[in-house]
Structures are given as structure tokens and as C-alpha cells.
Amino acid sequence: ITERTKGLLPVHLYGQCVDLAPLKELAAKHGLSLLEDCAQAHGARQNGTVAGSTGDAAAFSFYPTKVLGAYGDGGATITSDEAVERKLRRLRYYGMEERYYTVETPAHNSRLDEVQAEILRRKLKRLDAYVDGRRAVARRYEEGLGDTELKLPKTTPGNEHVYYVYVVRHPARDEILERLKAYDIHLNISYPWPVHTMTGFAHLGYGTGSLPVTEKLAGEIFSLPMYPALSTDLQDKVVHAVREVLSAL
């Protein structure tokens, strides 16, 4: 933390909450904002507190694949600070507030259109069911792959995981993915390249080798299919194929 630091941005990755208590204390100590990235954590909880309700503000993504997704791009920011809310409303609407065509501050056109808003309003009522479906898929993976060499997701005590993605680890990741193609199973890596190795962030001065643990994990992780409507038959096919590939390594 330096004099240039304005805030802390914890990311609730893969559907599980970051431990916010020490970050909230750190932010208060240094007079920093605490902004939660909840793009992958709709409905996730930590010690009974829902993701997005601890920080000064929180951002959610409504991309179609998210736990709560629209039928197109979308997102929302929430806050309990009235001044922040007013600023956010201006930022999303050309910098206008009370009068159309009267720009108060430089801003953007980032409004959520009414069609997506109505879709989300209706789907929000089903959020708990979507999460229950994802947790059921996760339990079946644990039952089917828990005795293999794969490292499966672990839920931190006090957390309620919503399993936006089901990320596993294995040192032979690339070989596993290649062999699974023979079973017509093509899997994603979330995410293959650490941020500090990307060209767009080279100016920060971090390169390959500067964060060895991060780089090691990025070379081992991959995602198994995860969505509420995943049928037992299809999931069994994935589990069977993964077990066969692992046994052949």
C-alpha cells in the first residue's frame, strides 16, 4: 500500500467468497475503499453474509454464462452510499442526472436495456434454484472423482460456494485435455494466462517468474462442465472419460 493506493478490490473467484474481514480492517486502517468483484459469486455467502454486501460497493456481471445471466451482455453495481450511487447513475448515463441533454460530468453510455432487465428480474426469482442445481453437479463430481489424482475444489469454512465454474488441478493438464478430445469432450481453462504475464500489463514490471505459485497453478487448472441443467447422463460421461484418461497416464 502506497500513497497512490485508493482502494482494495477482492475478487470472489469461481463462486466462492474471499475472506473479507482482514481486508475490511486493512481498508479502514488506511482509509481505502473496499470494492467487491462479484461477477462470479451471485448468491455466494460467507458466514451468512451475501457477496456484495460488505464493501463500499460491489459489481456483478450478467453475462449469459454467469450464475445469474441475461440473454446478452449486462452488469450492475450496488452500494449503500448515496453519494456513490448518484455518481454511478451519472457515469452510466452520459454524465446526466436530472435533465436530459444536460451533462454534469464526463461519462459513458452503460445502461442495461429494458429487455435484459426484465429477463434478469424474472430469473432472479430462480437464483436459489440455479445455485442448488450447481451444487448438485458439484456433489456428483466429488462422488465420481474424489478418489482420483485430480485436486477438486474445496470450500473454505464459513463459505457457501455457488460453483460458477468447477475448476480442478492436475500437473498433466495439457495431456489430459488432449486425450479427452477422443471422447468428444472439449474443456476450458479458467484462466490460462496470469494477468502479470500479459502484454497489456507489462508496464507494471512483473514478468514470467515473478509470481511462481500463480504461474504453476495456471499451468495445472482446467474446468469441468458446470451448469444447473447438466444431466446426470452427460456428467457420468465426463466422469467416466476423465477416470479412463487419468488411469492411462
Q: Contact 1/33 with Cβ under 8 angstroms?
A: no
Q: Judge if 160 and 195 occupy the same domain.
A: yes
Structural domain range at position 55: 7-124
Cell digits of residue 62: 450478467
The per-residue pLDDT for 111 is: 86
Residue 201 CA to residue 62 CA, distance in Å, equals 26
pTM score of the predicted model? 0.92
Q: Judge if 140 and 205 occupy the same domain.
A: yes
List the CATH number of the domain containing 49. 3.40.640.10
Half-sphere exposure of 32 (CA within 13 A, CB side): 20
CA angle 132, 231, 240 (to 5 degrees): 115
Q: Judge if 171 and 111 occupy the same domain.
A: no
Cell digits of residue 126: 430462480
Q: Judge if 104 and 138 occupy the same domain.
A: no
CA angle 184, 187, 188 (to 5 degrees): 155
The per-residue pLDDT for 123 is: 97
The per-residue pLDDT for 138 is: 98
Q: Judge if 238 and 137 occupy the same domain.
A: yes
Report helix angle 114-124 to 127-145, nearest 10. 60
Q: Judge if 94 and 120 occupy the same domain.
A: yes
Residue 136 lies in a domain: yes
Question: Number of structural domains, the chain?
Answer: 2
231 CB neighbour count, 10 Å cutoff: 9
List the CATH number of the domain containing 216. 3.90.1150.10
The single-letter code of the amino acid at 231 is: S
Residue 1 lies in a domain: no
* Mean pLDDT of successive 10-residue stretches along the chain, which has 249 residues: 96 97 97 98 97 97 97 95 91 81 81 94 97 98 98 97 98 98 97 94 93 97 97 98 97
The per-residue pLDDT for 97 is: 78
The per-residue pLDDT for 217 is: 97
Would you give the end-to-end CA distance of the chain in angstroms?
A: 45
Helices (H) and strands (E) in the chain, counts: 7, 9
Residue 198 lies in a domain: yes
Classify residue 222 as left (phi > 0), alpha (psi -120 to 50) or beta.
beta
Q: Judge if 89 and 155 occupy the same domain.
A: no
Q: Judge if 146 and 219 occupy the same domain.
A: yes
Helix (H, G, I), strand (E, B) or coil at 118: helix
β-pair partners for 167:
223
Residue 179 CA to residue 186 CA, distance in Å, equals 10
Residue 28 lies in a domain: yes
Residue 68 lies in a domain: yes
